[in-house]
Amino acid sequence: MLQKQVALVTGAGAGIGQAIAIALAENGADVACSDIDEAAARRTAERCAQHGHRTAAIPADCGNVASINAMIERTVKQLGRLDIMVNNAGITRHVRLMQLTEKDWDDIHRVNAKGVFFCLQRAAAEMIRQGGGRIINMASIAGRGAVGTSNAAYAASKGAVISLTKTAAQQLGPHNINVNAICPGVTVTDLHHRLMSQRAKDRGLTVEDVTREAETRIPIGRANTAEDIAAMAVFLASPGARNITGQAYNVDGGIVTS
């Protein structure tokens, strides 16, 4: 389905990013796996390579524009082009609104908002030269005001991603570039486990109690796996989504319905 396509996935070292990178490789794409942790990026690239396609492992700090530029340049140099950009790298922490500091805000927005914009901009420059491409941004239902977000700065950063997706789709559409976002709900990853552990500690509960409470808010009754998010990313990268742009899709089991 994605044969002869080159994809770049940021934050590919673990969790959702790793699942997306592997799913893209399973569906025929050559995949550049980027992460601030080079060893983690390499491990994901090795798993992608098992599907018989070219891979690359590229360390990058997605909050630094020079590092973003170098990441895109290395992808094109090693794999020849860039057809699919998945802006997945992001950070968060569990902190209440009145305890948020300036550093918390700056750290989160540096990667989640600034980083996504400059990854999108630099990828779009390559795609314009090539005649088109697909950009997939990782937002969150937190950006739609969902209850239970890790913190207000994170929610604001993901709201920015949703807004950016719509504006970029309008301006890049004439260049045959589709721009869409995915808004995951509760997704079981190592990051999720760390957040649940912190919430449990803060409330004097067990991790199991906090996890069960979170899942009771999901109408379908189960949290996402990383592969649930990857399936949406593969669809948005596929020919079947060629006329879809400017959209932000919830993958959350029904928590948010708008």
154 catalytic residue (yes or no): yes
Q: Is 224 helix (H, G, I), strand (E, B) or coil?
A: strand
Q: Can you tell me the distance from the alpha carbon of 38 to that of 195, in angstroms, rounded to the nearest whole number? A: 24
Q: Can you tell me the distance from the alpha carbon of 132 to that of 143, in angstroms, rounded to the nearest whole number? A: 28
Catalytic residue among 23, 154, 157, 179: 154
What per-residue string of b and e applies to 142-155 under the rule 16 or more CB within 10 Å gives b? bbbebeebbbbbbb
Instruction: Tell me the β-bridge partners of 177.
Output: 133
DSSP string over 83-135: -EEEE---------GGG--HHHHHHHHIIIIIIHHHHHHHHHHHHHHHT-EEE
Q: Give me 131's structure tokens.
A: 């005649």
The residues carrying an active-site annotation are 154
